[in-house]
Amino acid sequence: MNINVKPKSESRAQPEQKLSVVDCDIHPATKSASELFPFMAKRWQEHAVTYGSHVRQGLSEGLAHPRMTPDVARLDAWPEDGSTPGSDPEFMRKQHLDANGVELGILIPLGRSGSHQRNLDYGAALCSAVNDWQISKFCDFDKRFRASITVTQEDAPTAVAEINKRAKERRFVQVLLPPRSQEPLGRRRYWPIYEAAVANKLPIGLHLGGMGGHPSTGSGMPSYYIEEHTSMVQTMQALIASMVIEGVFEKFPELQIVLIEGGFTWEPALRWRLDKHWKRFKSEVPHLKRAPSEYVIEHFRFTTQPIDEPEDPRDMRHIVDWIGVERLMFSTDYPHWDYDDPRYALNHLGLSEAEKRKIFSGNAKGFYGLQ
Partner 1 sequence: MSRSTATVTASARHAQGTSIYGVEAIDCDVHVAVPSMNALVPYLDDYWRESVTTRGLERHSLNITGQPANAPVFARPDWRPAEGAPGTDLGALSKHLDAFGTKFAVANCMYGAQVLHHEDMAAALCGAVNEWIAREWLDREPRLRASIVLPIQNPKNCVEEIERRAGDKRFVQVLVPVMGEMTLGRRYYWPIYEACERHGLAVGIHAGSSYRYAPTSVGWTSYLFEDYVAQSAAFENQLLSFVAEGVFAKFPALKVVLMESGFAWLPPFLWRANKTWRGVRAETPWVKRSPGEIVREHVRITLQPVDEPPNREQLERTIEQIGSDSVLLFSTDFPHWHFDGLAALPEGLSPALVKKILLENPVETYSRLRDESAPKEIRQ
Q: Is 57 in the site for partner 1 (CB under 8 A)?
A: no
Q: Which of 41, 164, 170, 281 binds partner 1 (CB under 8 A)?
A: 281
Stretch that binds partner 1, among 39-47, 135-143, 195-203, 277-285 (CB under 8 A): 277-285
- Residues in the interface with partner 1 (CB under 8 A) total 71
CB of 141 to partner 1, least distance (A): 31
Pairing between β-strand 21-26 and β-strand 102-107 as defined by DSSP bridges: parallel
Nearer to partner 1, 82 or 220 (CB): 220
Closest by CA to 336, choosing from 62, 96, 32, 19, is 96
Nearer to partner 1, 139 or 320 (CB): 320
330's CB contacts (< 8 A; 6+ apart) are 21, 22, 23, 24, 303, 304, 305, 340, 342, 346, 359, 360, 361, 364
Stretch that binds partner 1, among 42-50, 81-89, 152-160, 281-289 (CB under 8 A): 281-289
Q: Is 286 in the site for partner 1 (CB under 8 A)?
A: no
218's CB contacts (< 8 A; 6+ apart) are none
Q: Is 216 in the site for partner 1 (CB under 8 A)?
A: yes
Closest by CA to 137, choosing from 95, 89, 80, is 89
Q: Is 225 in the site for partner 1 (CB under 8 A)?
A: yes
Q: Is 242 in the site for partner 1 (CB under 8 A)?
A: yes
CB of 281 to partner 1, least distance (A): 4
Q: Which of 101, 111, 192, 268 binds partner 1 (CB under 8 A)?
A: 268
Q: Which of 145, 249, 278, 360 binds partner 1 (CB under 8 A)?
A: 278
How far apart (Å, rounded) are the C-alpha atoms in residues 109 and 131?
9
Query: What is the DSSP secondary structure assignment for residue 344, as one 8-state letter?
Result: T
Stretch that binds partner 1, among 80-88, 125-133, 262-270, 356-364 (CB under 8 A): 262-270
Q: How many residues does the chain have?
A: 371
Q: Which of 31, 118, 187, 343 binds partner 1 (CB under 8 A)?
A: 187
What is the contact mask toward partner 1 in residues 300 to 339, using x (rule: CB under 8 A)?
------x-xxxxx--x--xx--x--------------xx-
Q: Is 222 in the site for partner 1 (CB under 8 A)?
A: yes
Query: What is the DSSP secondary structure assignment for residue 370, as one 8-state letter?
Result: -
Q: Is 290 in the site for partner 1 (CB under 8 A)?
A: no
Nearer to partner 1, 115 or 361 (CB): 115
Stretch that binds partner 1, among 98-106, 121-129, 173-181, 253-261 (CB under 8 A): 173-181
Alpha-carbon distance values, 369 to 97, 331, 362 (Å):
20, 17, 10
Q: Is 49 in the site for partner 1 (CB under 8 A)?
A: no
Query: What is the DSSP secondary structure assignment for residue 359, as one 8-state letter?
Result: I
Q: Is 246 in the site for partner 1 (CB under 8 A)?
A: yes
Q: Which of 280, 286, 354, 371 binds partner 1 (CB under 8 A)?
A: 280
Q: Which of residues 79-138 bind partner 1 (CB under 8 A)?
A: none
Q: Which of residues 132-151 bind partner 1 (CB under 8 A)?
A: none
Instruction: Report yes or no: 133 and 171 within 8 Å, Cβ to Cβ.
Output: no
Task: Count Cβ atoms below 10 Å from residue 235 Cβ, excluding itself.
Answer: 21
DSSP annotation string for 37-102 = GGGS-HHHHHHHHHT----SSS-SSS-SS--SSGGGB-GGGS-TT-PPTT--HHHHIIIIIITTTE
Q: What is the 3-state secondary structure (H, E, C) of 230-278?
A: HHHHHHHHHHHHHHHHCCHHHHCCCCCEEEECCCCCCHHHHHHHHHHHH
